[in-house]
Amino acid sequence: MSALPDISPEQAPRPAGGNRVRLLWPDPGLSPNARVHHMKLASLKKQAKSSAHWACNLWRVERVSAPALLTITFLPPDRRRRDLDNMLGSLKAALDGVRDYLGVDDSEFHYRISKGQPVKNGAVDITITAIAAD
């Protein structure tokens, strides 16, 4: 996996009405287009899930009730062209770790995804906001 995120939880801005966490850039083997042996893929998924769970704990993400909006910003490691749908697919195991940490059924997640400017080693910023019930 990549190096640890380049921003500490103390430096992370707390967005109003939500939580923010920065995850590691997904391993290339997690891409939906990658052809990886099933045992290696299982190991990568387990590592991504536990890393995301640990990151939520480190960043002291507050638990929210369902449903929740996840605003995901991909900060790639370089300027190569990437599809947003493939980047989101690469993040599925990490999102399972976020779901486990929050204790929310991920069928209750709504997504807003975008791609930001490249950062060293790449990262994924996620802002979690509870959606008010009608």
Quote the CA–CA distance of 123 and 22 in Å, as a whole number.
Answer: 7
Higher pLDDT, 116 or 3: 116
Mean pLDDT of the chain: 87
Higher pLDDT, 71 or 16: 71
Is residue 37 situated within a structural domain?
A: yes
Is residue 78 situated within a structural domain?
A: yes
Is residue 106 situated within a structural domain?
A: yes
- Residue 3, pLDDT score: 45
Is residue 6 situated within a structural domain?
A: no
For residue 128, report the phi and psi dihedrals to the nearest 5 degrees.
-110, 125
- Residue 1, pLDDT score: 44
- Residue 16, pLDDT score: 42
Instruction: Give the domain extent around 103.
Output: 19-130
- Residue 17, pLDDT score: 41
40: CATH: 3.30.1330.70
Q: What is the pLDDT of residues 10-55, one digit of tens each?
A: 555 444 444 899 999 999 999 999 999 999 999 999 999 999 999 9
Quote the CA–CA distance of 1 and 30 in Å, as a whole number.
Answer: 11
* Domain count across the chain: 1
Please name which of 4, 43, 10, 34 lies closest in space to residue 122, comparing C-alpha atoms: 4
Is residue 14 situated within a structural domain?
A: no
Is residue 90 situated within a structural domain?
A: yes
